[in-house]
Amino acid sequence: MQALEFNSVIGDEGIIQVPKQYLVNISSPVKVILLMNEKFEGNNARHFSALRLKTKEFKFDRELANE
């Protein structure tokens, strides 16, 4: 399997434009993997801001943790 890397945007109806210089060597079918920029904040984006845990009463067992 050969990999090509290029930047693009997803247009109307989910169409991704492939640069012309790659079209010569592409045959169907293809496998597509989308990598989105980290700043993507679409409807499915999840935000994690903070987590606070009270561990005062927690008993840590090193032997159990290393099993």
- The answer to the question of residue 17 being in a domain is yes
**Any domain includes 8:** yes
Residue 60 DSSP label: -
Question: How confident is the model at residue 46, as a pLDDT?
Answer: 62
- The count of structural domains within the chain is 1
For residue 48, what are the contacts with CB-CB under 8 A and spacing of at least 6?
Answer: none
For tokens 């399997």, the residue is 1
Q: pTM surpassing 0.85?
A: no
- Mean pLDDT in runs of 10 for the chain (67 residues)? 85 87 83 79 64 82 85
Domain membership of residue 6 as a residue range: 1-37
Query: 10 φ, ψ to 5°?
Result: -90, 115
